[in-house]
């Protein structure tokens, strides 16, 4: 029996509701499979922890989770604390030291869910966005001076390193190569951002030579938003900078029918550190505690977690269970236009995992 140690960090808002649902589903999966088990440690880090201790996580927090096999994260964001404090104090405080430089965001229109794009189904919208997760505007370079004076000035410097761009480009080409269409779109803004983005384009051309079987093209990020809406079928795998892909992935999530179903993996592909899996949706304080948060984004993230652990049959079983459940509108939460609760959806997915036909 294999044992996987999972660090559960629910964080703020609806994070607690969806992460506990995610853990229930993972445990059901382990039970059904029989060849592995999960040991789950819970960490109460986040906004409430900050109010008590003046920081989002303890000083030795990274050491507490360094030896776990994976991290299941809920969300960071609290109405009483500025967003940049919660982000830099928890999510980025884990992603950056653990060098989770590849952020992977699949998008599909799942069965039973309607895209706001007319007549689009999962055959026409099946993308993976690869977001560079360590550099760009999120590198933390910049400063603010002369606050309160008319001379006030501020910079956020987008920083890109050749190794940082090469590794994400190679990751994206490799991922595109594993997908049936072997198609990669490299997104930049190399007309306006004439230094780093031009370097991105050059590095893309260099790395492409290592992957002669991958077809690739280049897009400026503004034109990419149009293409995502007007010609979704023409896209498969996408690679973009931290900020550009942040924006594109919200559009992608909306086009797939709801931000509530969108998953993400923050990967350290070399496995020197644990990787972190989380729904994209954020803390959603407006619906916190109502029991109506959509847990599908967390379940799909759990699929990515299982894939990362190389438990591929269990990962497919969970994905099939998710698709069986989304296909039935009785299990749609309010973000999908239904009236199901988090518990209803969780119970249905667990039933599907147990079911003989999944």
Q: Which residues in this chain contact Mg ion in the complex, by CB under 5 A?
A: 246
Q: Is 229 near ligand IPM (CB under 6 A)?
A: no
DSSP 73: E
Among 132, 246, 311, 344, binds ligand IPM (CB under 6 A): 246
Contact between 274 and 65 under an 8 Å Cβ cutoff? The reply is: yes
From the list 188, 124, 129, 120, the residue with the least C-alpha distance to 160 is 188
254 in contact with ligand IPM (CB under 6 A) = no
| Contacts to ligand IPM from residues 127-156, by CB under 6 A | none
Q: Does 87 bind ligand IPM (CB under 6 A)?
A: yes
Residue 282 interacting entry, from Mg ion, ligand IPM, none, C-beta within 5 to 8 Å by type: ligand IPM
Query: Least CB distance from residue 282 to ligand IPM, whole Å?
Result: 5
Cβ 144 vs Cβ 154: under 8 Å: yes
Q: Does the footprint of ligand IPM cover residue 74 (CB under 6 A)?
A: no
* Interface with ligand IPM, residue 247, by CB under 6 A: no
The least CB distance from residue 125 to ligand IPM, in Å, is 19
Task: Indicate the residue among 246 and 344 with the shorter CB distance to Mg ion.
Answer: 246
Q: Is 180 exposed, middle or buried (0-12, 13-18, 19+ CB in 10 A)?
A: exposed
* DSSP string covering 242-275: HHHHHHHHHHHHHHTT-GGG-EEEEE-TT-SS-E
Does 279 contact ligand IPM by CB under 6 A? no
CB of 87 to ligand IPM, least distance (A): 4
Question: Measured between alpha carbons, how far is 52 from 176 in angstroms, rounded to an integer?
Answer: 45
- Contact by Cβ (8 Å): 261, 326: yes
**Footprint of ligand IPM (CB under 6 A):** 87, 246, 249, 280, 282
């Amino acid at each position: 029996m294999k044992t996987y140690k999972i660090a559960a960090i629910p964080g703020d808002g609806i994070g607690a509701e969806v992460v506990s649902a995610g853990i229930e589903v993972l445990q059901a999966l382990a039970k059904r499979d029989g060849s592995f088990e999960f040991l789950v440690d819970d960490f109460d880090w986040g906004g409430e922890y900050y109010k008590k201790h003046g920081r989002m996580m303890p000083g030795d927090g990274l050491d507490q989770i360094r030896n776990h096999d994976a991290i299941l994260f809920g969300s960071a964001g609290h109405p009483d604390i500025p967003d940049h404090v919660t982000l830099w104090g928890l999510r980025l405080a884990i992603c950056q030291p653990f060098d989770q430089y590849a952020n992977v965001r699949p998008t599909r229109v799942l069965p039973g869910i309607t895209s706001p794009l007319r007549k689009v189904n999962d055959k026409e919208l099946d993308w993976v966005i690869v977001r560079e997760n360590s550099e760009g505007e999120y590198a933390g370079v910049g400063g603010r001076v002369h606050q309160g004076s008319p001379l006030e000035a501020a910079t956020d410097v987008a920083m890109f390193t050749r190794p940082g761009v090469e590794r994400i480009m190679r990751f994206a080409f490799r991922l595109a190569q594993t997908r049936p269409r072997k198609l990669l779109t490299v997104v930049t803004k190399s007309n306006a951002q004439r230094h780093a983005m031009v370097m991105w384009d050059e590095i893309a051309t260099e790395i492409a030579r290592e992957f002669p079987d991958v077809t690739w093209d280049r897009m400026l990020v503004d034109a990419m938003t149009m293409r995502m809406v007007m010609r979704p079928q023409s896209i498969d795998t996408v690679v973009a900078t931290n900020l550009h892909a942040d924006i594109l992935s919200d559009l992608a999530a909306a086009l797939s029918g709801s931000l509530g179903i969108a998953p993400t993996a923050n990967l350290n592909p070399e496995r020197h550190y644990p990787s972190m899996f989380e729904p994209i949706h954020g803390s959603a304080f407006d619906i916190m505690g109502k029991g109506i948060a959509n847990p599908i984004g967390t379940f799909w993230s759990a699929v990515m977690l299982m894939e990362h652990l190389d438990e591929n049959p269990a990962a497919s079983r969970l994905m099939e269970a998710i698709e069986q459940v989304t296909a039935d509108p009785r299990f749609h939460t309010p973000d999908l236009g239904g009236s199901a609760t988090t518990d209803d959806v969780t119970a249905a997915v667990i039933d599907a995992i147990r079911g003989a036909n999944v």
